[in-house]
Amino acid sequence: MPRRGWWRFRAPRAPHADRRFRVKSPRSLRKATTAFVALALLVVGGCGSRGVYDMPLPGGADVGDHPYQVRVRFADVLDLVPNAGVRVNDVPVGRVSTIGLAPDSWQAEVTVEVNGDVKLPANATARLRQSSLLGEKYVELAGPPESQPAVGRLADGALIGLDRTSRNPEVEEVLGALSLLLNGGGVAQLQDITKELNAALEGREPDVRSLLSNVDELVAGLDAQRDDITRALDSINRLSARLNEQRGSIDTALRDLEPGLRVLNEQRTQLVTMLQSLDELSGVATDVVNQSHDDIVHDLNQLAPALHQLAAAGESLPKSLEVLVTFPFPDNAVDGIGNSDYTNLYANVDLDLTHVLENLGRSRQPLLPLPSLSNSIPLPLSPPDQTAQPPAESDEHSGGLLGSLLGGDR
């Protein structure tokens, strides 16, 4: 009877080698075959599943009998995995269902299942957080920021866009930034900086205190003028908005201004010459005014009485001018005539220059200081032999209306 288990036998010698073979027993062969078949079945069955992600795990949040699903888009989901937790105010309310690529972009889309009793606004936000320093990732749902009011309710199938999602910095990112600061930053130069500051401030303590006091006063003044500064900034903002609205007109004005500037540049020499001549003219005018100062003051003093008399005339002068323009029917005379009334004027005007001059000479207040016409200025306006007086009708008329106007006797 051969021994069970391992045994040895000598195979035929090969021409160039002397080899020994070990052969397992039939029972071991059956166990190996069974394990191989089971492994093959496991591999074949796993092709259509996600492995351990599809296995039901104990614990986790209770999603209830009627959960609703919400799609959340992240720029980067890091190492978030399916079946990760979903929390609201650090209270588990659901779990991550699927993680995939958004159909219309290169963003990560995470589908979460939330307990139906959890009520969130339609503009809720989502954040990818970590339970501890080296803990698991989870999705935190929250309301909108304090500056935005809550609107509606988050419904089944709702989408939280990329503008309402964020994530916390990773430990690797923090350590990388810290290493950059420690290795390539200025931490190594802190000692040198401290020494240089001590050397710069040593012996100047009063000046530094005065500087700090002035800075404190400046800050206090700015704080007191905070409302004015705010209004000024608002005014600048409105001005900027108005300029933005008038951008087309400003652009057109700037384009049209270029030819004018070109002409001014071409005539720059003439403009400079004109300004120099104007400077010389101003110098001459100043010299003239300085030299004629006394004469101008004297003329103004002589003009003062006439101005005083005009001021004393007051309202009489305008009324006289009104009567002169409307003579012989002033406005008050026209107002006294009714709609059906009328008035007549019969006037005989003697325009004989001799009589006119005589009336002017006989006036008690002559208009012009003329000498006596009968003694010093003979006017041979009539024949020498005509000694007769004018007709009585002429005397009556000449001494009438025109005589009264010119100041003669009636």
Question: What is the reported pLDDT for 72?
Answer: 94
For the cut 90, the answer to whether the pLDDT of residue 112 exceeds it is: yes
Mean pLDDT of 254-267: 88
Mean pLDDT of 159-188: 80
Q: Where are the domains of the chain?
A: 57-172, 189-245, 252-288, 296-341, 346-382+390-406
183 pLDDT band (50/70/90 cuts)? confident
4 pLDDT band (50/70/90 cuts)? very low
Of residues 154, 67, 62, 165, the one with CA closest to residue 110: 165
Q: Which tokens belong to 266?
A: 């071409």
What whole-number distance in Å separates Cα of residue 359 and Cα of residue 253?
73
pLDDT tens for each residue of 198-208 = 888 888 888 88
Mean pLDDT of 377-391: 46
Question: What is the reported pLDDT for 231?
Answer: 93
Residues paired with residue 200 on neighbouring β-strands, in sequence order = none
| Cβ atoms within 10 Å, residue 396 | 14
| pTM strictly above 0.85 | no
For the cut 80, the answer to whether the pLDDT of residue 397 exceeds it is: no
